[in-house]
Amino acid sequence: MDLPGDLEGMLRGERGMDVTFKVGGQEYRAHRFVLAARSPVFSAMLFGPMAEKDMRCLDIADMHPLIFKKMLHYIYTGSLPKCGAYSAAEMQHLLVAADRYGLETLKLGCEDELCEKLDAKTITTSMKLADQHGCKRLKDACLEFVSKGRRRLRPRVV
């Protein structure tokens, strides 16, 4: 049985999709029950006490359409789409999206990737994200990166 492959096929098809998301001018269709099963936030949005009975279209603010699409793929398959290496910026945006929608395994995966991608250009943003989104491993990696950099910059006493 290839459950992730079957669910990916459902995402690519239109059959049974009962909710549309508008994200930055793009529309994405999905299945409410799949979203609710994978995300506590989508569960509350779609089936919680405040959910509208016939809610068919939801606007998603503050997210790039491609990040939403990758997150949707992850919700259905448990993996990110294979499209080459992801940049640190993409991983940072995915981490924010994962935290926002309660996708802990995606969040942990993004955190791991960001730990590997730390450099002088990403350290500041990664440290801020670690603090804002409760990413202890990323914060520890940032602190270690900064600490190693300081040791290299100290002049040697002869």
CATH code reported for the domain at 1-80: 3.30.710.10
49: phi then psi, degrees, rounded to nearest 5: -65, -25
What the block records as the tokens of 89 is 């910026």
48 contacts: CB under 8 Å, gap ≥ 6:
none
Give pLDDT, residue 15: 80
1-80 and 85-158 in the same fold: yes
> Per residue in 32-83, pLDDT tens?
999 999 999 999 988 888 777 667 888 999 999 999 999 999 999 998 888 6
CATH code reported for the domain at 85-158: 3.30.710.10
> Per residue in 87-121, pLDDT tens?
999 999 999 999 999 999 999 999 999 999 999 99
84 confidence band (pLDDT: 50, 70, 90): low
> Per residue in 2-40, pLDDT tens?
777 767 777 777 787 889 999 999 999 999 999 999 999
Q: Where are the domains of the chain?
A: 1-80, 85-158
Calpha distance 139→130 (Å, rounded) = 5
